[in-house]
Structure 1
Amino acid sequence: MLANFWGFADFYLHNPILVLVLLAHVLSDFQLQSQRMADLKVKRLPFLILHLGLVCLPLLVLSLIFPSNFLFFFLVWLSHVAIDFLKFHSNAFVQRRNLEKYAFLLDQILHFLAIFLLYFLLANQKNPQWLQGAASVLQALLFFALIGKPVNIIFKLFFSKYQAREDNQDTIAGAGAMIGRLERLIMGLSLIFGQYASIGLVFTAKSIARYNKISESQSFAEYYLIGSLFSLISVLVCYGLLYF
């Protein structure tokens, strides 16, 4: 099977401490960070310091639970500090060149590379029995964290240009992002429990709710289709990286 060939699922199940650090990063860099904080931390130093303090909190908790990995957790935080300060000092150049989307991707790639590299070089990979037993739960939490807010941000950065101005009328602020998170949550649960037919029900429900607007506006129909396909692709990619 392809799952056995790739071995991603077994890798994460046997390295729950790595999954915990990845989860801590996703939570602190996305779920626990507002858009205002994300915008201001690259412009004003106090907001950057506040953000780095929030990044430190889950790693500090992990250090108390797993003291043998204190150096690993500390260096992960230190790498986050270095990467964010690099982004802070290059922000003027990024804005002049209109490179925000690429700076975001590079920032996240560097964070993940640092975590993996430090884990293999420094981490104590011996896991207590209770943690090994919770590995599948941690794997699922990381999966749902990845397909939540991070996907919304990537979609907004790369695909908002396809949204026509009139498509914003008669909508509640933030409703589209919440619908996207919920549809990916349902798709993720459907994949984990093997209920693949349920994925089709998500798009059916969305299409019924938006039928009038889809039929009346070609631009909205195209933007709706782009968003739906991107949601599906993002869930499948994350599922493949964590469960195959």
Structure 2
Amino acid sequence: MIYFYIISHVLGDFYLQSQELSDYKAVSRAGVRIHNIQYALAFMMVMILRIVILRNLSAILPDFILTLIFVSIHATIDIIKFRVTKTAYYKNIPYSKLDYKLKRDRFVESTRFDFFRKIAMNDIPSNDSKDKSSSSGRKPLAPITIFGIDQFCHLFSIVAISLLARNIYGYSFNPELSGYDFQVLLRMTLAILLVGKPANVLIVMLTERFDPKTTKIDEGLAGAGARMGTLERLLSLLFLSQNLVSGIAVVFTLKGIARYKKISEDAKFAEYFVIGTFTSLLIVFIVYLFIL
């Protein structure tokens, strides 16, 4: 069952959360509320899927209770993070109503749901002095530090409560349907999800300070770099799972060819490219070792 809950977390915290919402929730309580609604929806969808697969009606009540607990804990952690960090993601941008309005408007334009759009449009920035740029002299935590603490708290709570629930309810997931090993299927699903958007977010945070910021708009398609990174990690994970290590070399050779001109002309970009590539490959190895 732990894999199901972690998959729900990854879907709710990454795949259902756009970059616009991530930026908006860093400066607005309404953004935090919208994110937690989406997070709850992810858990509910996976819970329904789990019930359909298990076909065990007696597990519905404890499963629903656990889902409520996970969603509530996630909301609590996010609220605490918002109150503690506020503008930590924007260390060089003082909090202002203009900054708030910009992020809110970007989210409103990006969302497809009128319900979330109405929540954002009815949101009024707080006049509390604590919401303004910190003047306490304390250096804000780096985004990667906040991200690490945040994800550790979420994952630790999911694992700990899942194990506790299993001891209380005898709650485990080990069905044998049509001869398939669903534990392997769940691990593979989780691994594929992890090397996608979560890996992209982590790589950006880890390598941002090495970015030479020299890429011009007309030098590539918007979002192509992130998509290439996702594909390279998916292919690498596939090759590793089939013990075809040589296939990984082919993937990264093709990636190098695609960036050859920029690498040969810009030494700083070449270093940034190598750091990003090695980080991406390291994430694949970690996911393979600990998940698969």
Band the TM-score falls in, shorter-chain normalisation: 0.7 to 0.9
* Between 218-227 and 62-71, the greater mean CA deviation after superposition: 62-71
Q: Which has the larger radius of gyration?
A: 2
Aligned residue in 2 for 1:106:
149
CA displacement, residues 158-199 of structure 1 (integer Å, 9 cap, x when unaligned):
211211122345122211111111100110111112211100
| TM-score, scaled to structure 1 | 0.86
- 2:100 is the alignment partner of 1:116: no
Q: 2:74 aligns with which of 71, 76, 80?
A: 80
Structure 2 counterpart of 1:133, which letter? D
CA distance in 1, matches of 2:153, 2:247: 36
Unaligned runs of 5+ in 2: 52-58, 92-133
Q: 1:50 to 1:208 in 2, by over 3 A?
A: same
Unaligned runs of 5+ in 1: 1-16
In the TM superposition, residue 208 of structure 1 has moved relative to its aligned partner by: 1.4
Aligned residue in 2 for 1:54:
38
| TM-score, scaled to structure 2 | 0.73
Superposed, 1:49-198 pairs within 5 Å as 49-64=33-48, 65=51, 66-67=59-60, 68-92=62-86, 94=88, 95=91, 96=134, 97-99=139-141, 100-123=143-166, 124-130=171-177, 133-169=181-217, 170-198=219-247
- 2:4 is the alignment partner of 1:20: yes
In the TM superposition, residue 91 of structure 1 has moved relative to its aligned partner by: 2.4
Contact 2:187 2:291 in 1 (8 A): yes
CA distance in 2, matches of 1:130, 1:107: 36
Q: 1:74 to 1:129 in 2, by over 3 A?
A: farther
Contact 2:21 2:35 in 1 (8 A): yes
- 2:279 is the alignment partner of 1:230: yes
In the TM superposition, residue 130 of structure 1 has moved relative to its aligned partner by: 3.5
Contact 1:188 1:235 in 2 (8 A): yes
Aligned residue in 1 for 2:130:
none
CA distance in 2, matches of 1:126, 1:140: 16
Aligned residue in 2 for 1:204:
253
Q: Which runs of 4+ in 1 moved over 4 A?
A: none
CA displacement, residues 52-106 of structure 1 (integer Å, 9 cap, x when unaligned):
1111123223444241322222211111011111111112373553322211110
CA distance in 2, matches of 1:217, 1:45: 42
CA distance in 2, matches of 1:130, 1:45: 44
CA distance in 1, matches of 2:28, 2:264: 45
Greater percentage in helix: 1
Percentage identity across paired residues of the two chains: 31
